[in-house]
Amino acid sequence: MSDTVSIRAATPHDYDGVTDLLRASYPALVRDAYDAATFDAISPVLTVAQPALLRSGSYFVAEAAAGIVVGCGGWTRERPGTGEIRPGLGHVRHFAVHPDWTRRRIGQGMYARCLAQAKASGVETLECYSTLNGETFYAALGFRSMGRIEVEMANGVKFPGIRMLARI
């Protein structure tokens, strides 16, 4: 498999590719951080592409040479779950890398695109609701932990995570 990857803004046409990626990534890379009942309850929400993100212009996909989506992630001004917008604050959203493509700096490349776009739009701080096992990834990008949280998912299930912040 070639290591060539390109990063571009996602579009609604990426729905199937992003959903396929999320369905491969989260069970393989996130499941072990949660008890089975919690993961099974949140999986139907976590493993589907979010159309609003795909339309946002601030959500990205990493594509392998064959056009296969191997990474995704982005940012928005709207806080997940509430839609609240605060001046100078952006929110990192729904990052994932295919398990066969980890450790190739794909996540860092997508974050660099997010960071540049967020800075250009006046964002001074990025907030992230990390999965429990994603904390080290975000810490390596300059985020600091603000403590554990429970994120209420669209299906009403509370998802344990870590709230993280980075001044940019």
Q: Which residues pair with 145 in a beta bridge?
A: 164
Helices 36-46 and 15-29: crossing angle, nearest 10°? 170
Query: On the CB side of 53, how many CA atoms lie within 13 Å of its CA?
Result: 24
Would you write out the chain's pLDDT as a tens digit for each of its 168 residues?
457 899 999 999 999 999 999 999 999 999 899 999 989 988 998 999 999 999 999 999 999 988 899 999 999 999 998 899 999 999 999 999 999 999 999 999 999 999 999 999 999 999 999 999 999 999 999 999 999 999 887 777 888 999 999 999
Please state the pTM of the whole predicted model: 0.93
Other Cβ atoms closer than 10 A to 112:
14
Distance from C-alpha of 137 to C-alpha of 123, rounded to nearest angstrom:
21
Give the per-residue pLDDT at 28: 93
**Amino acid (1-letter code) at residue 19:** T
| Token reading at 89 | 């604050």
Burial (CB < 10 A; 0-12, 13-18, 19+), residue 10, is buried
Domain boundaries, the chain: 5-122
Give the per-residue pLDDT at 4: 87
CATH 3.40.50.1400 given to domain 5-122? no
